[in-house]
Structure 1
Amino acid sequence: MSLTPTRDYLNATSLKSEMAAFSSPAANPELSPIPKVGDHFPESDQLPQLQSLNNSNRPVIITFLRHCGCPFAEKAFQSFRSLSDAHPDTTFIAVSHSNQEDTEEWVVSVGGTGDVEIVIDPERTLYAKWGLGFSSYWANMGPMTLWKALKLGSDELIYNRPTKSGYRWQTAGSFAVDVDGTVKWAYVSGNAPDIAKFEDGLKAVGKGKKRRVRKSQDARRSQEVRKSQEVRKSQEVKEGSEVKESQEVKEGQEVKENLEAAKRQSQEEVHASSPSNAAFTV
């Protein structure tokens, strides 16, 4: 997935989609119990990575995001991606219930996928299989949640982004599945700011020690995105200046031509009214 934003994400949404994120669907998929530690993972064709655990010999850490645009989902995804870069011996899967296009655009806007595999589940059937339904208004919009959202923005410059698809009420959850298909760690967020500690999931499948990474890939991705945005903004300013300059030249030329035309007309009128050109009738 490219790290270059395809368009200005912050200006590409509508009030209608924002309001839709606060609604609830007409029908919800049937909710299964949340998998407990020791359970076999919920079977689904949407997660073929879990069907070949023995062959890959790689445990899986899977996180179900709240919705694309949520600042807490962004914070969680950044942490998740950072661990995926440091643990190539583990499969990291992030599930989104926003649609394909909006998810891809959001992922680009927050720095790219890294080594995380993205699974799209707009019908939320996977969420339901793993026991993740909707949470309460208080858990998502309570004063503590709003205060933590403001603090996340002031401390880490992670702010709410437009929610172009998906639901703000969706509960987040994360799980670790060992190579034998056993759930070794499960964490369901109690409210929007409640972000799982993915390191605990890695420890549960015996992958707790992080490799040292020479340079933060998250920081590098952020720099690439920021540089791309600055270049694009500079180009827009340059193009705007060129258009303005061209318009000024054109307007100046038109003024000059109008003055010359007025001058010629005045000369013709003076010439026509002179005695030498008067018509006499005898």
Structure 2
Amino acid sequence: MATPTRDYLNATTLKSEFASFSSPAANPELSETPKVGDHFPDSDQLPQLRSLNDKPVLITFLRHCGCPFAEKAFQAFRSLSDTHPDTTFIAISHSNQEDTDEWLISVGGTGDVLIIVDPERTLYAKWGLGFSSYWANIGPMTMWKALKLGSEELIYNRPTKSGYRWQTAGSFAIDTDGTVRWVYVSRNAPDIPGFEDGLRAVGRGKKERRRRSEAKP
């Protein structure tokens, strides 16, 4: 695994950093978010879902490359991919290919995660993930949690070289028959899913321990 590094704002990245606060002139048509029990939304951009080969799939749609919460989520996702070879892990980025590749190196590499780059955000829209609000992304509580993440876990905001800060993150678990078994749409930027819940939903995670009172005969 690559060693995580720090990168900093400079004159070149400052312009793109400001651009990340804007919105595109046109957005892809937003579909409804798939529900548990639905078949996954089919797309040529995700051919891996058309031939599952008896392996369930966990998919996470990242906010943007540079976001500290996306980094924390990806680290947790990557760690699970290393210990669950019986499951396919796919991460979707809407930053461009070059910036996504640079970000992945800076956060320690891909591990066993497949990376799909979707700069037009057509996949995001197909899975019902659009833009969210100011308060969900850069409100006071989000800023406080970002500072807390940096001080406690040394995960800091990195330059956002492409992508949009308003993009909603979401994660899904797909069973071997193509059925959606777990859905988690983040309510705000710091809202990171428990990916173990997704694994349990497709029968690959550790089972919850019973309470002592329930274990007694």
Whether the TM-score (by the shorter chain) exceeds 0.5 is yes
Q: Which amino acid aligns with 1:38?
A: G
Structure 1, unaligned runs of 5 or more: 211-282
Superposition deviation, residue 195 in structure 1: 0.4
Pair 8,191 (structure 1): closer, same or farther in 2 beyond 3 Å: closer
More helix by share: 1
> Which structure 2 residues correspond to residues 38-49 of structure 1 after superposition, within 5 A?
38-49=37-48
Q: 2:8 pairs with 10, 14, 20, which one?
A: 10
1:92 — aligned with what? 89
1:141 — aligned with what? 138
> Which structure 2 residues correspond to residues 61-72 of structure 1 after superposition, within 5 A?
61-72=58-69
The two structures have a TM-score, normalised by structure 1, of 0.71
Q: 1:190 pairs with 180, 187, 191, which one?
A: 187
> Which deviations, in whole Å up to 9, do the C-alpha atoms of 1:154-189 show, x marking residues without a partner?
000000000000000000000000010000000000
2:72 maps to 1:75: yes
Instruction: Please give the alpha-carbon distance, in whole angstroms, between the structure 1 residues aligned to 2:33 and 2:116.
Output: 19
Instruction: Please give the alpha-carbon distance, in whole angstroms, between the structure 1 residues aligned to 2:87 and 2:79.
Output: 13
Q: Which amino acid aligns with 1:10?
A: Y
Instruction: Please give the alpha-carbon distance, in whole angstroms, between the structure 1 residues aligned to 2:29 and 2:77.
Output: 28
1:152 — aligned with what? 149
Superposition deviation, residue 15 in structure 1: 1.7
Question: 4+ residue runs of structure 1 moved beyond 4 angstroms?
Answer: none
> Which structure 2 residues correspond to residues 247-262 of structure 1 after superposition, within 5 A?
none
> Which deviations, in whole Å up to 9, do the C-alpha atoms of 1:122-145 show, x marking residues without a partner?
000000000000000010111111
2:206 maps to 1:209: yes
Q: 2:116 pairs with 119, 122, 131, which one?
A: 119
Instruction: Please give the alpha-carbon distance, in whole angstroms, between the structure 1 residues aligned to 2:13 and 2:153.
Output: 26
Determine if contact 2:6/2:158 at 8 Å carries over to the other structure.
no
Determine if contact 1:92/1:117 at 8 Å carries over to the other structure.
yes
> Which structure 2 residues correspond to residues 219-230 of structure 1 after superposition, within 5 A?
none
The two structures have a TM-score, normalised by structure 2, of 0.91
**What is the root-mean-square deviation in Å for CA atoms of aligned residues?**
1.6
Determine if contact 1:174/1:196 at 8 Å carries over to the other structure.
yes
Higher relative contact order (CA 8 A, sep 6+): 2
2:213 — aligned with what? none
2:175 maps to 1:178: yes
1:263 — aligned with what? none
Instruction: Please give the alpha-carbon distance, in whole angstroms, between the structure 2 residues aligned to 1:162 and 1:67.
Output: 10
Instruction: Please give the alpha-carbon distance, in whole angstroms, between the structure 2 residues aligned to 1:16 and 1:101.
Output: 17
Determine if contact 2:58/2:171 at 8 Å carries over to the other structure.
yes
SS at match of 2:89: strand
SS at match of 1:151: helix
Determine if contact 1:62/1:94 at 8 Å carries over to the other structure.
yes
Superposition deviation, residue 3 in structure 1: 3.0
**Identity rate, percent:** 81
> Which deviations, in whole Å up to 9, do the C-alpha atoms of 1:3-57 show, x marking residues without a partner?
379x97435642210110000000000000000000000000000110001xx11
Determine if contact 2:77/2:195 at 8 Å carries over to the other structure.
yes
Determine if contact 1:177/1:184 at 8 Å carries over to the other structure.
yes
Determine if contact 1:9/1:105 at 8 Å carries over to the other structure.
no
Pair 4,45 (structure 1): closer, same or farther in 2 beyond 3 Å: same
Give the aligned length: 206
> Which deviations, in whole Å up to 9, do the C-alpha atoms of 1:88-146 show, x marking residues without a partner?
00000000000000000000000000000000000000000000000000101111111
SS at match of 1:150: helix
> Which deviations, in whole Å up to 9, do the C-alpha atoms of 1:53-98 show, x marking residues without a partner?
1xx1100000000000000000000000000001000000000000
